[in-house]
C-alpha cells in the first residue's frame, strides 16, 4: 500500500499550526473524498488566532509547479476575500524542493487573470506575485514549519 504523503502533511500542518501560532485553534473539516461527489468544503482547515480567522487549503505536490486546476475550492475561498480579519489561502508543500509556501487566494486570482495555469516555485522570488515561504526545518521526511508568520498577513492575503 502506497503512503499518502498529502494526508500525512495535513496532520503535520495541523500540529505545527497549533505549536507555532500562539493562542490558536484549528479544525479539520470533514474530508468528503470518499464518494460524496456533491459535498465540498470551503477548505481543509479553519484556524483562529485573535483577531484572525484562516481558511486554509493544504496541498502537497511533486515537481516545480502546482496546477491551479487542482484547487477545486477556489470559488468558495474567493468568497471570503474582503472580510475584515479573514485570511484565505493555500499551503503548498513542494516536496522535491523541501519548501512550504503560503499562497493567498488573491495571488491565485492574479495568476489566473495573468493567464497562468499553475503556481511555479520560481514565483517565490518574483515580486509580481505575493507568495510567502513558511520558515521550515527539514526533518527525515517532513518539515517542521513555523506558521506564526501568517499572523503578519495583511487584509486580502
Per-residue pLDDT of the chain (157 residues; tens, 9 = 90+): 345 777 889 999 999 999 999 999 999 997 665 555 556 789 999 999 999 999 999 999 999 999 999 999 999 999 999 999 999 999 999 999 999 999 999 999 999 999 999 999 999 988 899 999 999 999 888 899 999 999 999 888 8
> What pLDDT score was predicted for residue 86?
96
> What pLDDT score was predicted for residue 106?
95
What is the number of other CB atoms lying within 10 angstroms of the CB of residue 97?
14
> What pLDDT score was predicted for residue 39?
64
Closest CA to 157 of 80, 100, 96: 80
> What pLDDT score was predicted for residue 149?
96
Q: What is the phi/psi pair of residue 114, to 5°?
A: -85, 0
> What pLDDT score was predicted for residue 2?
46
List the grid coordinates of 143.
518539515
Q: How far apart are CA 20 and CA 1, in angstroms?
A: 33
> What pLDDT score was predicted for residue 1?
38
Bridge partners, residue 66, by sequence:
119
> What pLDDT score was predicted for residue 5?
79
Amino acid at each position: 500500500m502506497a503512503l499518502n504523503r498529502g494526508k500525512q502533511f495535513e496532520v503535520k500542518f495541523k500540529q505545527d499550526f497549533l505549536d507555532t501560532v500562539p493562542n490558536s485553534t484549528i479544525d479539520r473539516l470533514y474530508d468528503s473524498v470518499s464518494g460524496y461527489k456533491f459535498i465540498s468544503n470551503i477548505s481543509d482547515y479553519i484556524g483562529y488566532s485573535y483577531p484572525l480567522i484562516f481558511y486554509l487549503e493544504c496541498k502537497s505536490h511533486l515537481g516545480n509547479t502546482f496546477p491551479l486546476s487542482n484547487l477545486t475550492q477556489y470559488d468558495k475561498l474567493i468568497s471570503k476575500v474582503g472580510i475584515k480579519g479573514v485570511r484565505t489561502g493555500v499551503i503548498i508543500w513542494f516536496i522535491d524542493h523541501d519548501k512550504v509556501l503560503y499562497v493567498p487566494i488573491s495571488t491565485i486570482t492574479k495568476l489566473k487573470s495573468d493567464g497562468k495555469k499553475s503556481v511555479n516555485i520560481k514565483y517565490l522570488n518574483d515580486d509580481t506575485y505575493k507568495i510567502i515561504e513558511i520558515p521550515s526545518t527539514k526533518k527525515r521526511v517532513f518539515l517542521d514549519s513555523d506558521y506564526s508568520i501568517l499572523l503578519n498577513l495583511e487584509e486580502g492575503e
